[in-house]
Amino acid sequence: MSSPVYLDHAATTPARPEVIDAIAQQLAVVGNASSLHTAGRAARRVVEESREQVAAALGAGPSEVIFTSGGTESDNLAIKGTFARRRADDPRRDRLIVGSTEHHAVIDSVEFLVAEQGARVDWIEVDSEGRADPEQVRALIERDPASVALVSLMWANNEMGAVQPVAEVAAIAHEYDIPFHTDAVQAIGQLPVDFAASGADLLSASAHKFGGPQGVGLLLARREAQVVPLTHGGGQEREFRSGTLDVAGIRGLAVAVQLATASLEAEQDRLVALRDKLIQGALDAGLDIEITGPHEVGDVTRRLPGNAHLRVPGCDGDSLLYLLDAAGIECSTGSACRAGVPQPSHVLLAMGIPEDDARGALRLSLGRTSGDADVAAFLEALPAAVDRARRARTASRGS
């Protein structure tokens, strides 16, 4: 049996061989980076060298790099921690302005604050391509600037790949002295990410999305950023995030981000060519498939180069996913964090897509190991899977 075709790189992408080697080497060495003896200082040196490498790759200062367990923790720390600090300084700051198509790590953090901390939230609407208008953010702020604790808008969407105008939104937030956070989990490795140039005050990322290990990530936080920690203990990471540092994971993250950013331009060109071939092949298959989100051949400014999001009318996305999986094609219907949840995507609903159409969604995400053969295999398997999924849906609705 041939190996499955993996087209779910947005959920996680394979660790690079160099990363695996670096982690294995570090795991063979004892040392807690908070210890003061020789082994501890050696571990600390690995952490700080990794911090410098990450900072250089992402346009940040070393002191602005906070290591975490991944994107979810980074989002929670940025949203909850900033809200707590800003409201403690001024009780009037009880309002959050947040993208309506964010990952659930952001949305659920916001909803927790609404339910448990009395926060109010204004959701940034998106257009039919899933993109936000910066001037809408300005209008939301101007309702009552003194009440806004934080503005948060993701860099690029994890489901349908739309790239957001983060620099413009950050600039508007700063006109009113409001901190700005962006979830850049999907952006690093596919788009140029420069923390200083973006204007963001806080930026979340996760190593396993760009060839690093699972379970380690980072929060870039400007030196003046003030965040109440979610965990307390040893006061590590500028006292933002206490806990014993994952030295091997951090080393792997640093190697991954260096490699991903060094090969970015060539990888962008390669991925966008594959993406466009996949999309055009699906549209030409005579299956009435529609593309979700912004799409122009060769474009990498409005859509992630490795993202193809299709809507297949007359199908349930989960059925289509299982049929493709049985044919050796591994993909998804949306965020892996919400897999198995029997609800249409909030991202697609926010774009104005009818609920019935949203249920037929399919996300194909390409990565470093993807090639022409993978695209060809998907396009070959697609018609039969769609036919069976449509017949199954018709039968279930007729029963």
Crossing angle between the packed helical segments 17-27 and 247-262, to the nearest 10 degrees: 160
- pTM, whole model, 2 decimals? 0.96
By residue count, the chain amounts to: 399
Distance CA 262, CA 211 (A): 13
**Catalytic, out of 283, 327, 337, 376:** 337
One DSSP character per residue, 212-247 reads: S-TT-EEEEE-TT-----SS-SS-TTTTTS-S---H
Distance CA 394, CA 399 (A): 9
| Half-sphere exposure at residue 11, Cβ-oriented, CA atoms within 13 angstroms | 15
* Counts for the chain of helices (H) and strands (E), in that order: 13, 12
For residue 340, the model assigns a pLDDT of: 52
Distance CA 212, CA 323 (A): 30
Which tokens go with 104? 């659930």
| Half-sphere exposure at residue 360, Cβ-oriented, CA atoms within 13 angstroms | 23
For residue 342, the model assigns a pLDDT of: 61
List b or e across 284-318, with b for residues whose CB sees 16 or more CB atoms inside 10 angstroms.
Answer: eeebebebbbbbeeeebebbbbbbbbbbbebbbbb
> Does residue 381 contact residue 328 with C-beta atoms inside 8 Å?
yes
Task: Determine the distance from the C-alpha atom of residue 130 to the mean position of all C-alpha atoms in its chain, rounded to a whole number.
Answer: 15
> Does residue 357 contact residue 262 with C-beta atoms inside 8 Å?
no
Distance CA 196, CA 170 (A): 11
Answer yes or no: 337 catalytic.
yes
List per-residue pLDDT tens for the chain, 399 residues long. Answer: 578 999 999 999 999 999 999 999 999 999 999 999 999 999 999 999 999 999 999 999 999 999 999 999 999 999 999 999 999 999 999 999 999 999 999 999 999 999 999 999 999 999 999 999 999 999 999 999 999 999 999 999 999 999 999 999 999 999 999 999 999 999 999 999 999 999 999 999 999 999 999 999 999 999 999 999 999 999 999 999 999 999 999 999 999 999 999 999 999 999 999 999 999 999 999 999 999 999 999 999 999 999 999 999 999 999 999 999 999 999 999 755 555 556 789 999 999 999 999 999 999 999 999 999 999 999 999 999 999 999 988 887 765
For residue 336, the model assigns a pLDDT of: 52
Domains of the chain: 5-13+264-398 (3.90.1150.10), 17-261 (3.40.640.10)
- Tokens 């999907």 sit on residue: 186
> Does residue 187 contact residue 193 with C-beta atoms inside 8 Å?
yes
For residue 341, the model assigns a pLDDT of: 54
Distance CA 179, CA 175 (A): 10
> Does residue 161 contact residue 347 with C-beta atoms inside 8 Å?
no
Task: Determine the distance from the C-alpha atom of residue 279 to the mean position of all C-alpha atoms in its chain, rounded to a whole number.
Answer: 21
